[in-house]
Amino acid sequence: MKLLITLVLLTTPLFCRADTTLARELAFDALMAIDYGQTRAIFNSHGRYVELNPLINRGNVGKYFFATTLLHAAVTYSLPEECQPAWQWGTIVVEGAVVGHNAYIGIGVRW
């Protein structure tokens, strides 16, 4: 079920015509949720994997992802409409690369 919800959120920008800014934001949020789960898995891997983001530690994983998700939305909606797609697609690509790399090296998602 989690996979299905994730796939729906990630593909929303492809099918949603009413508000593509919102659709892209939901796609970013889905990737952040996956990254959150992967980061929790990293901290529970007993040293097998190492978190490379210096802003994240075991005690602030949830706070970090909550704050960055809110900040991303705030930046998105503060930008002029013509700049929003570039910002959102840029961050979706970066976040997608991080999630993809983590999955490629074997990091699962721990909720």
> How far is Cα 23 from Cα 100, in angstroms, rounded to an integer?
20
What would the two tokens of residue 58 be? 């075991």
Alpha helices in the chain (DSSP H): 2-15, 20-43, 61-78, 84-104
Residues in the chain, total? 111
Which pLDDT tens digit goes with each residue over 19-40? 688 889 989 999 999 999 999 9
> How far is Cα 71 from Cα 91, in angstroms, rounded to an integer?
12
What would the two tokens of residue 22 be? 């919102």
Which pLDDT tens digit goes with each residue over 37-68? 999 999 999 999 999 999 999 999 999 999 99
pTM score of the predicted model: 0.83
> How far is Cα 78 from Cα 80, in angstroms, rounded to an integer?
7
